[in-house]
A and B are shown apart, each in its own frame.
Chain A
Amino acid sequence: MESSVHGKMTARSRALASLAVAAAAIAVMPALVSDFVLLQIAIKSLWLGIAGASLAFLIGQAGLISLAQTAVFGVSGYVMAILVLDHDWGVWFAVAVAAAAGPIAGLIVGVISRRTAGLYLMMLTLAIGVFVFFFAQQYQPITRGHTGFNGFDAPTLFGIDLNDRRPLFYVTAVAAVAVVAGFRYVMATPAGLAYRGLRDNPKRLQALGYSTEATTVSAFAVSGFAAGAGGVISVWYNGAISPGSIDLTRTIELLIVVMIGGTLRIEGAFMGALAVTLLQNYVSDFTNRTETLVGAVFMVVVLVSRQGLTGILLGLGSRAQRALGRVRSRNSTPDRSVTDDSRRSPEHASRAGQHAPPQ
């Protein structure tokens, strides 16, 4: 019992330490990097990471490989843009509705695909994604067709204009921390345990009284919160949303973000988003075949580690920990040659004596 209390405290203090590090990094970053890096790398990586986290959660926790997360992301972005630009809603009301649209869209995707898994789930969610894309492209009265919505101004928060880089960075960073904390919280709940059960052995989960369909729908709905948040912030960032924001290329890009980052940890999505954003911004200085290079990096990372960058880092971390443990035990253990025989079992001591060199 004592050890579990100790374990809980360690986990809590580790979480608090992570939060403190994240808060410090967020606070100092704008002062350390150029405006270009802040806008083109940091903010984009964060909102792309938020959307990626929704997919990393689905794949890593529930074992559901969905190709419809870009559609969920797009639904929230479109809902906000439509309400503000076509119906003159107050922006924060529109944000609230758009945020709610994420889990609702996730729920609908979940309901449609609740009886599928593996390849069939991928095909069905791809079909949903393609449907939403064509709806956005062709249903002009609602979505404005090809052009979509342009000239969207990010809102003002407590008198601070989020069109400015720094406030937008802070808000996006806080949203990213909230998404990670939210997913971590969910993972510790009964639903979180059920999602992992669904991932590992759906049939066995059913034999414990769980409906795999309800568990699937619930996981999609939960993931929709993050996808929706990513969609809303992407519209603030780009000032626009169009069918191009949710087409097949974006779907694949999100999948690449998650696979490069790895699904062992939700935070992996942010590492993947940062890697992809860096490649997209800096590789173009050397070649105009950026996407080809992103594809090549994707292949290399997946070949080296099936769990992406997170897997590589965790592997390095555990190796370092083992090495440290070996060094510590070597330093703390007295020289074996002078170990007191009385500390050994009689059997051990007599066996040692047999091999002792003659006096």
Chain B
Amino acid sequence: MLPGVTLNVHARDALQNPPLRVERVSRSFGGLRAVDGISFDVAAGEHLAVLGPNGAGKSTLFNVICGDLLPDSGRVLLNGEDVTSLALHHRVRRGLGRTYQTSSVFAGLSVAEHIALALRGPISGRLALSMRSRERREVARSTERLVALVGLDGRSAAPASELSHGELRQLEIGMALAPNPDVILLDEPAAGLSADERTRLTELLLNLSDTVATVLVEHDMDVALTVADRVIVLESGSMIAKGSPSQIESDPLVRAVYLGEQHKARSARSSGPRAELDR
């Protein structure tokens, strides 16, 4: 097969099959329709923010994409492959990475061990009883790079039980990035962070590789609207708006339902760091 032809086929596939596609996903709990026919694509390198008030269906949608919940109808596709019925670990092996709203780590493992564990998760040989020294060196190098990337340099040997809340959030993102995923789902990564930590997180998210598709569920509007290329807004399980952050900010329905005057006040308070980031 000609190399050029192969490249064209791949390019066409990439256009037709975005890293993440959610197709008419619905999920109910008893009589409550938590997610109602939601569809969207996320392209490689794109940051999509999912916004909505409490109970809008963000977490349910997130859990359906991860595989923690099965949808009543609709499909989730990773790189064109239908993964709707696959368990979480199978999705991770197909290029999905995720973080948790409340930091979920391994209390007895060090920072470096967390990253090493995450690095090997999606590859075969994850339960190998031996490791070649070359491989060992590569893991050590990648671990060192990732630890530095998420700003935990000098904390490699620290057990997770000794990390601060902010450091745990950084570790969560490091673990999600470690296996070089195609799609990364971030569940309120800014929850509980100080202003400085939020600024660092925003910078980190803005500097993510341009091949990673990111879905961000976030209550912090400043982080979400700064990082996102595109935003969808949910209300009572339905998508009520989609567009660029500026379109969403000026959408009267979204302002009425979610952003409201609260956001104005918050924007005014945090205009300093945002202006800096917008540069």
> A residues bordering B, Cβ < 8 Å?
4, 186, 189-191, 193-194, 196-197, 199-201, 203-212, 214-215, 218, 222
Contact = CB atoms under 8 A, between A and B. Distances in A.
Contacts of A4: 140
B92 A189 contact: no
A201 B106 contact: yes
Contacts of A222: 129
Interface stretch (B15-23, B114-122, B217-225): B114-122
A203 B88 CA distance: 10
B2 interface: no
Contacts of A214: 127
Interface of B: 66, 87-89, 92-93, 98, 100, 104-109, 113, 116-118, 120-123, 125-131, 140, 175, 179
B104 A203 contact: yes
Contacts of A215: 127
B179 A209 contact: yes
Contacts of A210: 89, 121, 126-127
A189 B131 contact: yes
12 contacts: A4-B140, A193-B116, A193-B117, A194-B127, A200-B106, A201-B107, A204-B105, A207-B89, A208-B121, A208-B175, A209-B121, A209-B122
B117 A208 contact: yes
A190 B108 contact: no
Given A190-B131, A208-B118, A211-B89, A196 B106 contact: yes
B109 A197 contact: yes
A189 B108 CA distance: 16
B92 A207 contact: yes
Contacts of B127: 190-191, 194, 210, 214-215, 218
Given A193-B117, A207-B98, A209-B89, A201 B140 contact: no
Contacts of A191: 127-129
B interface: dominant SS: loop
A194 B126 contact: yes
A212 B125 CA distance: 14
Contacts, number: 85
Given A190-B131, A193-B113, A194-B117, A209 B126 contact: yes
Most interface-central of B66, B98, B100, B120 (chain A CB within 10 A): B120
A209 B243 CA distance: 33
A206 B126 CA distance: 12
Contacts of B92: 206-209
Nearest to B121: A209
Contact of B105 (A186, A193, A201): A201
Contacts of A212: 89
Contacts of B122: 208-209
Contacts of A199: 108
B161 to A, nearest CB: 10
Most interface-central of B87, B92, B106, B125 (chain A CB within 10 A): B106
A200 to B, nearest CB: 4
A4 B157 CA distance: 11
A190 B104 contact: no
The 4 closest A-B pairs by CB, nearest first: A209-B121, A208-B121, A200-B106, A209-B92
A200 B117 CA distance: 13
Contacts of A196: 106, 108-109, 113
Nearest to A193: B117
B126 A189 contact: no
A189 B125 CA distance: 11
B89 A206 contact: yes
A240 to B, nearest CB: 34
A204 B105 CA distance: 7
Nearest to B130: A189
B234 to A, nearest CB: 23
Nearest to A204: B104
Given A207-B92, A209-B179, A218-B127, A190 B107 contact: no
Given A200-B109, A203-B104, A204-B104, A190 B93 contact: no
B129 A186 contact: yes
Contacts of B100: 204, 207
Nearest to A188: B131
Contacts of B89: 206-212
Given A201-B107, A203-B104, A207-B100, 14 more contacts: A190-B128, A190-B131, A193-B116, A196-B106, A196-B109, A204-B104, A204-B105, A205-B117, A207-B92, A207-B104, A208-B122, A210-B89, A210-B121, A222-B129
A200 B107 contact: yes
